[in-house]
Amino acid sequence: MERIFSGAQPTGNLHLGNYLGAIRNWVKLQSGYECIYCVVDMHAITIFKEPAELIRSVHEVAACMLAAGVDPKKHILFNQSRVPAHAELAWVLNCVARMGWMSRMTQFKDKAGKNRENVSLGLFAYPSLMAADILVYKATKVPVGEDQIQHLELARDIAVKFNNDYKCNVFPLPEPVMLGTSRRVMSLRDATKKMSKSDPSDYSRINLSDDADTIALKFRKAKTDPMPLPETVEGFEGRPEALNLVNIYAGVRDITTEEALKEVGGQEFSRFKKVLTDAVVAELEPISKEMHKIAQDTAYIDSVLKNGGERADALAQPVLNEVYDTIGFLRN
Ligand code: TYM
């Protein structure tokens, strides 16, 4: 059976973009693949985090994943730092990846901004740890949102270069999996930017933990334009806010943008926002309730992550051994 790997950073709560772009697909793909899902705490410290906050975030994000339907018995859910092979392979891949490849990463450029000299070396090397996450399990399918595609292409480049340099075929090439209309959910305040945990305004995103009233309020305040919704997709030209809200509607209903317009095309925003709120609440409310319940029980979450970590470790170690043998590291 083909193996899937994917991860999400423990930086506060997961939002609707994480859910529609990634986590919901993780859950769907559980029938048909062997899945390994990871809370990437080692990626999270590329930007300083208070230890207590990191622990809280790992619990929160793991609770979100469990509430959304990740099955930790049939599949694996763990936090990255439990499996040392990620860091060990990342070092090897650091020696394969080129500085030029890393400097072209748009996420690094965005996060570093004008402050390039002063960001951590870990932030620069972030994509090679991500490549290690995937390759240490020889995973071939990686469900992600559109913003991670460039990192995934880099993971493939690293795998190809490793195989070429060492004249071997150790790593299969991982492919992205993107399903549905919500590959890129945009901010509710500025539809030219993606919905993101790091946006200072909480009104820019719907958190999976938001209750129905908060979701309604955020959609009421969401930026729009004065015209009613278009009847066809061509009508979205120059109207990124309208497109984003309709795509969110299509996303939660799991239909195409065209199908969504058959239902809501031509509506005034005031009416559509109520329809949209109801659809989003119907999808998120059960998850949010379950999440709050699971989040209370940190002992349960820890036991899931520990068990997942042990099983992940058992899969990763033979691959790391194969890599070390290929490289010529003496170990006995
Ligand atoms: P992260 O934590 O930023 O996001 C987790 C997942 O959510 C998707 N996503 C979105 N999808 C649609 N619209 C949005 N606005 C949106 N925002 C986030 C992301 O594409 C991602 O799939 N580097 C990764 C974590 C990672 C990883 C990996 C992923 C580490 N190692 C290995 C896959 C494989 C990240 O920061 O995701």
> Strand locations in the chain, DSSP E?
3-8, 34-39, 76-79, 141-143, 175-177
Indicate which residue of 28, 49, 111, 161 is catalytic. 111
Please choose, from the candidates 146, 142, 145, the residue with its C-alpha nearest in 3D space to the C-alpha of residue 156. 142
The pLDDT value given to residue 13:
78
Region 268-276: mean pLDDT is 97
Q: What residues line ligand 1, using a CB cutoff of 6 Å?
A: 5-9, 17-18, 21-22, 40, 43, 130, 133-134, 142, 144-145, 147-148, 151, 182-185, 194-195
The 3-state DSSP composition of the chain as helix, strand, coil percent (nearest 5) reads: 60, 10, 35
With the most atoms of ligand 1 within 8 angstroms of its CB, the residue from 28, 148, 190 to mutate is 148
Residue nearest to atom 4 of ligand 1 (CA): 8
Report CA(17)–ligand 1 centroid distance (Å). Answer: 9
pTM of the model: 0.96
Please choose, from the candidates 93, 102, 141, 148, the residue with its C-alpha nearest in 3D space to the C-alpha of residue 123. 102
With the most atoms of ligand 1 within 8 angstroms of its CB, the residue from 147, 175, 187 to mutate is 147
Q: Report CA dihedral (53, 59, 62, 64) to the nearest 10 degrees.
A: -90
Q: 12: pLDDT confidence band, cut at 50, 70 and 90?
A: confident
d(CA 316, CA 53): 28
Could you tell me the maximum CA-CA distance found in the chain, to the nearest angstrom? 72
Report CA(178)–ligand 1 centroid distance (Å). Answer: 12
The torsion angles phi and psi of 79, rounded to 5 degrees, stand at -100, 135
Indicate which residue of 141, 197, 218, 273 is catalytic. 197
Residue nearest to atom 22 of ligand 1 (CA): 144
Instruction: Dump pLDDT digits (tens) for 71-117.
Output: 999 999 999 999 999 999 999 999 999 999 999 999 999 988 888 89
Report CA(239)–ligand 1 centroid distance (Å). Answer: 26
Encode 136-172 in three state secondary structure.
CCCCCEEECCHHHHHHHHHHHHHHHHHHHHCCCCCCC
Annotated catalytic residue 273:
no
Alpha-carbon torsion 280, 211, 186, 121, what sign? negative
Annotated catalytic residue 197:
yes
The pLDDT value given to residue 182:
83
How buried is 249 (Cβ within 10 angstroms: 0-12 exposed, 13-18 middle, 19+ buried)? buried
Other CB atoms within 10 A of residue 69 CB: 15
Report CA(265)–ligand 1 centroid distance (Å). Answer: 31
Count of helices and strands (H, E) across the chain: 14, 5
Encode 39-99 in three state secondary structure.
ECHHHHCCCCCCHHHHHHHHHHHHHHHHHHCCCCCCCEEEEHHHCCHHHHHHHHHHCCCCH
Report CA(194)–ligand 1 centroid distance (Å). Answer: 12
Instruction: Dump pLDDT digits (tens) for 274-323.
Output: 999 999 999 999 999 999 999 999 999 999 999 999 999 999 999 999 99
Report CA(149)–ligand 1 centroid distance (Å). Answer: 9
Residue nearest to atom 16 of ligand 1 (CA): 17
Q: Which domains does the chain have, with CATH numbers?
A: 3-183+297-327 (3.40.50.620), 202-293 (1.10.240.10)
Instruction: Dump pLDDT digits (tens) for 204-251.
Output: 999 999 999 999 999 999 999 999 999 999 999 999 999 999 999 999
Indicate the average pLDDT of the chain: 96
Annotated catalytic residue 49:
no
The pLDDT value given to residue 91:
98
Residue 41 is which amino acid?
A: D
Specify the ligand 1 atom closest to the Cα of 183. 12
